Amino acid sequence: MDKERQSFSVLPYTHSVVRDLAWVMASPGLLQCAPQTLVSDDWCREVLIRHHDDLSALDNNPAPLQKALAQCRSQRLGIYFEQLMLYWLRDILRVEDLQHNLPVSREQTGSGKQTLGAFDFLFRFQPDGPLQHWEATVKFYLLKTMDNGEQRWVGPEGRDRLDLKLQRMFQHQLHLSQCPEAQAVTPALADKGVEAAAFIKGYLFYPLDGEGTREAYTAVAVPACELSLDHLRGWWLHWGETALPGALADRRWMVLPKDRWLSSLCLSEASADVLDEAALGDHCHRHFCSSRVASPRPLLVVELARQSGAWREVSRGFVLPPQ
């Protein structure tokens, strides 16, 4: 982990929801080059610094943020991510004319409406400024070698791919404002033009070799895109086939529920959720070998070390079912 990523990972906030909000605001994006504009990492870091007092106030009293998040009943991580973004734009940046998840559809004779898409976020930084259109996503992808020998970034359960996600975002979602149907839904699209940008956050996970160390991999091509050198990263392995990474004598582990996948973990030394390596092994054995499910879901685990009187995250990775 380089110094920039390390300094970002040590977020000075106690409450996990505030840490997640800060993570959404300023964690490194996955890309540094793309066919359309990306929301700048430098701008995001400046915003985080500028609004440190707002975040500190929330850390002292997280009730306003917790109340806003409680209004959404969905447990999906992507929805949680968007709700944190909504709070950031509405309550911290206080943008103008904010609209979220605005659907666009087309009337079809005899068959009702055809959904063309939805704007993730529409807003203005200033009342007389151009309309901003942000498409946002948070993703966790594993570098895998496919049957044909190609390397691809694939979701933990193999259901999606980074290249296909980016293709849809840059070829369809970010062009939605150009549709006549979209301009009918939001006439403001035609006022002073639209500035469209992608907001892409998450982690990329690299495979381990047989000795439990990260192999050197060349960058996997993603059409017309370039991965950020600062992207957040982890490791992955198949349970029982590769040793867990790390060489700390007094490390601990935690299995992360999905709503804790965003910001780096920081727990009190007395936390009951912390596992030693034997307890983690028992947990994984029960999950993968005693489950009645044919292919149990992967587990995201975090390696922890004692730092400044707390257990702090030093690495994270996916443990997949045995092959």
pLDDT in tens, 240-298: 888 888 656 788 999 999 999 999 998 888 787 899 999 999 999 999 988 677 678 99
Does residue 2 have a pLDDT over 70? Answer: no
Is the pLDDT reported for residue 51 higher than 90? yes
pLDDT above 90 covers a percentage of the chain that reads 61
Q: Is residue 40 a contact partner of residue 237, using CB atoms and an 8 Å limit?
A: no
pTM of the predicted structure, to 2 decimals: 0.91
Token pair for 66? 């917790």
99 assigned to some structural domain: yes
pLDDT above 70 (res 181): yes
Instruction: Please indicate whether residue 169 or residue 9 has the higher confidence score (pLDDT).
Output: 169
Contacts of residue 75, Cβ cutoff 8 Å, sequence gap at least 6? 258, 259
Query: Which pLDDT score is estimated for 12?
Result: 82
Is 293 domain-assigned?
no
Structural domain contains residue 175: yes
Say whether 247 sits in a helix, a strand or coil: coil
pLDDT digits (tens, 9 = 90+) for 210-234: 555 555 555 676 878 999 989 999 9
**Residue 8 domain boundaries:** 3-233
Alpha-carbon torsion angle 7, 8, 9, 15, nearest 10: 120
In a domain, 95, yes or no: yes
Q: Can you tell me the distance from the alpha carbon of 176 to that of 119, in angstroms, rounded to the nearest whole number?
A: 8
- pLDDT band at residue 184 under the 50/70/90 scheme: confident
**Cα(207)–Cα(151) distance, integer angstroms:** 11
The H or E element containing residue 197 is: strand 194-207
CA–CA gap between residue 247 and residue 193 (Å, rounded): 54
pLDDT for res 4: 43
Identify the burial level of 228 via C-beta atoms within 10 angstroms of its C-beta, where 0-12 means exposed, 13-18 middle and 19 or more buried: middle
- Domain membership flag for residue 290: no
Tell me the pLDDT band of 95, cut-offs 50, 70 and 90.
very high
Q: What is the SS3 assignment for 249?
A: coil
State the average pLDDT over residues 176-189.
80
**Considering its fold, how many domains does the chain have in total?**
1
Residue 7 has pLDDT above 70, yes or no: no
Whether residue 172 is contained in a domain is answered as yes
Tell me if 200 is assigned to some domain: yes
Residue 112: left if φ>0, alpha if ψ -120 to 50, beta else—which one? left
* Structure tokens, 249: 């004598």
pLDDT of residue 170: 95
Q: Is the pLDDT of residue 147 over 60?
A: yes
Choose between 191 and 133: higher pLDDT.
133
Are 102 and 186 in contact by the 8 Å Cβ rule? The answer is: yes
Given a contact cutoff of 8 angstroms between Cβ atoms, the answer to whether 200 and 137 are in contact is yes
Q: Is 250 exposed, middle or buried (0-12, 13-18, 19+ CB in 10 A)?
A: exposed
Phi, psi (5° rounding) for residue 224?
65, 15
**Which pLDDT band, with edges at 50, 70 and 90, does 193 fall under?**
confident
Quote the pLDDT of residue 116: 84
Q: Return the structure tokens found at 259.
A: 């709503």
**C-beta separation of 286 from 303 below 8 A:** no
The SS3 call for residue 148 is: coil
Q: Are 212 and 243 in contact (CB under 8 A)?
A: yes
- The answer to whether 161 touches 154, Cβ cutoff 8 Å, is yes
pLDDT, residue 215, reads 53
Nearest to 170 by CA among 132, 223, 102, 227: 223
Local structure of 125: helix, strand or coil: coil
The arithmetic mean of pLDDT across residues 91-101, rounded, is: 95
**Which has the closest alpha carbon to 302: 235, 254, 238?**
254
Q: How far is residue 192 CA from its own chain's centroid?
A: 31
- Work out the mean pLDDT of the chain and round it to a whole number: 87
Other CB atoms within 10 A of residue 317 CB: 26
